[in-house]
């Protein structure tokens, strides 16, 4: 297996990509105005806001962003109001706050003590010794990874496909055999093995974790061989992977550890549509691309008002890259997930 690393730094957003044998395996997104104390590995002083024994959890005020959760089992008898030093062990997802690990007692108000690793250092941990690719190649790799991370259905090499869909309770992976001909039993076996391998990669890419249910095709599965394949495919997610036996209904169930915020949560709003902020950052990348392609052109972008409202914090950075030769206009009729960039 061969991994490559890419870092795309754009106005307002940096995207890190890990590829595995040429296919995107991880997409790490950091936005300029995201709270740094909510990132994996950040160390903070927090204050116990609430102890909820019915949920076996303590809710921790980190000073910025949503309250974090500290499992009661690791709280050591802490009371409300206590100041503690914690580390982000899993980033927030959906409507749930980050999960923290208790490091010890502390003093003073909630605050960031040590930021998380810089994105380039985080990427290096996935492929030690591999050179980091930047520039146009990195942007292309990030665009490909983003499209794959947001897609539901994914083709398998050699035929067949899988659909990966998160629900409130678990992540469902549906395996489809496709319409290929040939020996049916051999075909089913090949598709199931490919599905497990690519499901592991895609779950890492999408940053989906927790309970995963893979609905395999066919019957009479070779449970030992498929379980061994799952252990190998999900080895990159260790420690914390637990794989159950294949049920008589052909369902492979497993649990993977949650670490990063799901890409879907970053890119989409609560309504499930692409957020204005995401569209705005794409618009800025489009302006930068056009500005580099034509160094003397005057650039015009048109977008929905909600998108334009998100751009103010990043205008200065874009100006520093291509100069002040662009203008952003709003149009009430513009679709909220679309924009137009023209050069004059």
CATH number for the domain spanning 125: value is 3.30.420
> Do residues 29 and 134 both lie within one domain?
yes
Q: How deeply is 235 buried, as exposed, middle or buried, from its count of CB atoms within 10 A (0-12, 13-18, 19+)? A: exposed
| Whether 163 and 250 share a structural domain | yes
Backbone region of residue 340 per phi and psi (left: phi > 0; alpha: psi in -120 to 50; beta: other values): beta
Here the tokens at position 73 are 């089992």
Residue 181, pLDDT score = 62
Residue 47: beta bridge partners? 61, 83
Q: Which pLDDT value is given to residue 310?
A: 96
Residues 258 and 290 in one domain: no
Residue ranges in the chain assigned as alpha helix (H): 119-124, 136-150, 184-206, 223-233, 263-267, 276-293, 305-308, 315-322
Q: How many domains does the chain have?
A: 4
Instruction: Examine residue 9 and state whether it is found in any structural domain, yes or no.
Output: yes
Whether 304 is in a domain gets the answer: yes
End residue of a domain, out of 234, 263, 292: 263
Chain segment 92-120, per-residue pLDDT in tens: 998 899 999 999 999 999 999 999 999 99
Judge whether 223 lies within some domain: yes
Is residue 42 within 8 Å of residue 115, measured between CB atoms?
A: yes
Phi, psi angle pair for 207, to nearest 5°: 60, 40
Whether 208 and 252 share a structural domain = yes
Q: What pLDDT does residue 186 have?
A: 87
Final residue of a structural domain among 263, 287, 315: 263
158 part of a folded domain: yes
The pLDDT value recorded for residue 184 is: 77
Domain boundary among 143, 161, 186: 143
Do 163 and 245 belong to one domain? yes
Residue 216's domain comprises 151-263
Ranges of the chain whose pLDDT falls below 70 = 180-182
Peptide bond into 97 cis (omega under 30): no
Clarify whether residues 191 and 304 are in a common domain: no
d(C-alpha 198, C-alpha 201), whole Å: 5
**Residue 46 maps to a domain:** yes
The enclosing domain of 78 has a CATH number of 2.40.50.140
Question: Is residue 62 located within the same domain as residue 107?
Answer: yes
- Same domain, yes or no: 10 and 131: yes
Residue 269 lies in a domain: no
Same domain, 156 and 98: no
Predicted structure pTM score: 0.93
- Judge if 85 and 204 occupy the same domain: no
| Residues 308 and 238 reside in one and the same domain | no
Same domain, 110 and 122: no
* pLDDT in the model for residue 180: 61
d(CA 184, CA 208): 32
Q: Is residue 268 part of a domain?
A: no
pLDDT at 27: 98
């Amino acid at each position: 297996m061969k991994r490559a690393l890419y870092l795309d730094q754009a106005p307002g957003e940096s995207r890190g990509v890990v590829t595995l044998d040429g296919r995107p395996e991880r997409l790490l997104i950091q936005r300029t105005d995201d709270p740094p104390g909510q990132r994996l590995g950040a160390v903070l002083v927090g204050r116990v806001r609430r102890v909820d024994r019915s949920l076996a959890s303590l809710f921790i005020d980190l000073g910025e962003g949503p309250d974090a959760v500290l499992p009661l089992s690791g709280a050591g008898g802490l009371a409300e109001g206590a100041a503690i030093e914690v580390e982000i062990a899993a980033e927030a997802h959906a409507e749930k706050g980050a999960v923290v690990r208790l490091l010890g007692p502390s003093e003073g108000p909630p605050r960031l003590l040590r930021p998380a690793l810089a994105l380039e250092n985080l990427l290096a941990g996935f492929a030690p010794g591999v050179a980091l690719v930047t520039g146009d190649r990195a942007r292309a790799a990030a665009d490909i990874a983003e499209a794959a991370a947001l897609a539901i259905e994914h083709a398998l090499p050699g035929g067949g496909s899988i659909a990966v869909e998160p629900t409130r309770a678990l992540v469902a992976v549906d395996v489809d055999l496709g319409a290929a001909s040939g020996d049916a039993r051999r075909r089913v076996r090949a598709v199931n093995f490919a599905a497990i391998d690519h499901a592991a990669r895609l779950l890492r890419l999408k940053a989906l974790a927790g309970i995963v249910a893979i609905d395999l095709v066919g019957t009479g599965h070779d449970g030992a061989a498929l379980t061994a394949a799952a252990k190998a495919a999900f080895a990159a997610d260790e420690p914390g992977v637990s794989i159950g036996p294949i049920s008589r209904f052909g369902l492979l169930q497993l649990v993977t550890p949650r670490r990063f915020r799901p890409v879907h949560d970053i890119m989409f709003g609560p309504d499930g549509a692409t957020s204005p902020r995401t569209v705005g950052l794409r618009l800025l990348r489009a302006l930068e691309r056009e500005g580099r392609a034509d160094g003397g052109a005057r650039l015009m972008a048109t977008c929905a008002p909600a998108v334009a409202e998100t751009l103010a914090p990043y205008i200065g950075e874009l100006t520093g890259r291509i100069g002040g030769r662009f203008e952003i206009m709003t149009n009430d009729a513009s679709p909220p997930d679309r924009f137009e960039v023209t050069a004059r």
